[in-house]
Amino acid sequence: MFGLTVWIAMQGLLLLYLQILLLPGIAVWNVTPNLLLPWVIFTIWKKPFINGISVAFAIGLMFDVMAPETFGLHALIFVLTGILIDFLRQPFEADSFVAIVIAIIAANLVYATLNMFAWGLLNGFDWALLEVGAIGLAYNLVFSFTVFWAMQFLSKLRVVITHD
């Protein structure tokens, strides 16, 4: 169990470094896609809930340290997203395509809504915030679908050693 948690944490750390160091390079209209969100969805969907949610909270908190204005926001979003996905996956089969699509859309909606709410409280609500929020939601949705299925594909790869 501990080994699994370490493995999830290593994946999260790698993606966290990528998110901070590389992702700003592909920002569109000042909106940087979130690489950690599809990872949280994937982890909660595929791994044991308590391990996934613990690591997601820790990674969210670490991400927030680099954005101190909204310290705690990503930790909160990741935990709430995790709980939401856990509720969503229970009535479905593990590999249900529809369930995964619903989960990704729901998680992105929660992420976009809470982000807009937090930034609105900080800087005031206006059309510009709504515009950025809409662009961010669209960009993150596309990004989440791509990253989620890339992760699913990678997780199914196996190294097979045969001896003739």
Partner 1 sequence: MLKRYLVPVVFVLFAVLMLLGTSESRQRKAAWFGRTVLIPYVGSVRSIQSVRSLKAEVYTLQSEITRHQLHNLELTNRLKEYTEAQSISFAHEKSRIVLAELIGYAGAFHERNLIINKGKGSQIKANDPVISPHGIIGKIVLVSDTYSVVLPLNNPQFQLPVMDKATSVQGILQSDISGKVRMNLIRLGSQISVGDTIVTSNLSRLFPKGYPVGRIERIQESQDNLFISAEITPFAQIENLEHVFVLDRKEEG
**Residues binding partner 1 (CB under 8 A):** 17, 20-21, 49-50, 53-54, 57, 60-62, 64-73, 75-76, 79-80, 82-83, 118, 122
Cα(first)–Cα(last) distance of the chain, in Å? 35
Closest approach of partner 1 to the CB of residue 138, in Å: 26
Report the residue number, 51 or 144, with the smaller CB distance to partner 1: 51
For the chain, the residue count is 164
Report the residue number, 28 or 122, with the smaller CB distance to partner 1: 122
Return the ∠ at Cα 36 (arms to 32 and 42), rounded to 5°: 135
Report the residue number, 66 or 128, with the smaller CB distance to partner 1: 66
Residue 28 three-state SS:
strand
Closest approach of partner 1 to the CB of residue 18, in Å: 11
Closest approach of partner 1 to the CB of residue 9, in Å: 12
Closest approach of partner 1 to the CB of residue 103, in Å: 16
Q: DSSP readout, 68-131?
A: GGGTTHHHHHHHHHHHHHHHHHTTS-TT-HHHHHHHHHHHHHHHHHHHHHHHHHHH---HHHHH
Closest approach of partner 1 to the CB of residue 74, in Å: 9
Report the residue number, 16 or 99, with the smaller CB distance to partner 1: 16
Closest by CA to 37, choosing from 115, 97, 96, 90, is 115
Report the residue number, 65 or 157, with the smaller CB distance to partner 1: 65
Say if CB 19 and CB 34 are below 8 A apart: yes
